Amino acid sequence: ALTTELGRQLQLREVEGLLLQAATVDNWSEIQNFEAKPDDLLICTYPKSGTTWIQEIVDMIEQNGDVEKCQRAIIQHRHPFIEWARPSQTSAWNICSPCNTCITRTFPPDFKGVEKANIMPSPRILRTHLPTQLLPPSFWENNCKFLYVARNAKDCMVSYYHFQRMNQMLPDPGTWEEYFETFINGKVAWGSWYDHVKGWWEIKDRYQILFLFYEDIKRVSKSPSEEPLSGLCFWEGYPEEFKCSNVMLPSPQDPKHEIQKVMQFMGKNLGETVLHKIVQETSFEKMKENPMTNRSTVPKSILDQSISPFMRKGTVGDWKNHFTVAQNERFDEIYRQKMEGTSINFCMEL
């Protein structure tokens, strides 16, 4: 346990004041020199903001709604993660999960994100968690398309906390109280949520950026009820019959609107049937069961889903089950200070 703990502590290092995985830092110049192409589409997110979700949506659009084609590879391998590099194979923290003693577990060979991207045919779809100031400059120089998904800070913090509990490649988050401080101080991998979101928001009109919100994709849309609603209501204690044709009823999760925006941004025009299929196939329930998206193929020694599943809850407002009243007040005050001057607005519950 000590070796694991020590190893977990050593896995983040700083680049320009921002914590990144050590293997990323070791390969930093190669990552910075990555050559983007004008027809690249880069999916950009702060960790735990719905990266996997938007990747599946984008891939379903790219494959014209063909589910089988989307099953060609696990989601992590479909869109090269440009700053990803495999840590060295013999690190002390690589404790073999079946025997729990062996410390030289060897990983199957894995290409770096930039290597995968370099051999990928164009047009390429890539992904990153990097903030604007650390993105390889060629993305700006080539005026690439960026698809940014932002998630409200409180749910992001909760999701990241559980992710760090189960992810042996990231530092142990400690208690929730400890993690609360770590997160608001930006001492997590890929740095401060506030700076990340602000950075991308502020340049969204200067580049080809489609800026989406997790909460909007998740939003339950209201649609007119097909049948007039009738029933009994009570007026001054007396029952009265009513019939109303203007009732707006919540329909099941309907991220159609946001998916349509992504489609347009990608220059695709798929019909209503395909759109409907994409909505169905990218629902939380479907993706939780799908081995190509739920990370079940990742060894337990890396992602221990018995601690917390990768597809955990997929909701808006889970922060209310974690934040104390005092934490919430403190968070709101800090949020106000850090986000002062930006016009970005988040939905905190649906």
Q: Is residue 185 within 8 Å of 179, Cβ to Cβ?
A: no
Classify burial at 308, counting beta carbons within 10 Å of its beta carbon; exposed 0-12, middle 13-18, buried 19 or more: middle
What is residue 283's three-state secondary structure? coil
Residue 51 binding ligand A3P, by CB under 6 A: yes
Window 133-172: contact mask with ligand A3P (x via CB under 6 A): ----------------------x---x--x----------
For ligand A3P, the binding residue among 10, 318, 322, 347 (CB under 6 A) is 318
196 is catalytic: no
What is the phi-psi region of residue 137: left when phi exceeds 0, alpha when psi lies from -120 to 50, beta otherwise?
alpha
Site string for ligand A3P, 180-219 (x = CB under 6 A): --------------------------------------x-
Sign of CA dihedral 69, 275, 317, 18: positive
Give the Cα separation of 40 and 53 in Å (integer).
19
338 binds ligand A3P (CB under 6 A): no
| Smallest distance from ligand A3P to CB 240, Å | 41
Q: Output the smallest distance, CB 254 to ligand A3P, in A.
A: 12
Give the strand pairing for 238-244 and 229-235. antiparallel
What residue is closest to ligand A3P based on CB? Answer: 314
Which contiguous run of DSSP H or E holds residue 335? Answer: helix 325-338
For ligand A3P, the closer CB: 95 or 158: 158
Under the binding rule (CB under 6 A), the answer on residue 76 touching ligand A3P is: no
Residues contributing to the site for ligand A3P (CB under 6 A): 45, 47-53, 155, 159, 162, 218, 282-284, 287, 311-314, 318
Task: Give me the active site residues, please.
Answer: 129
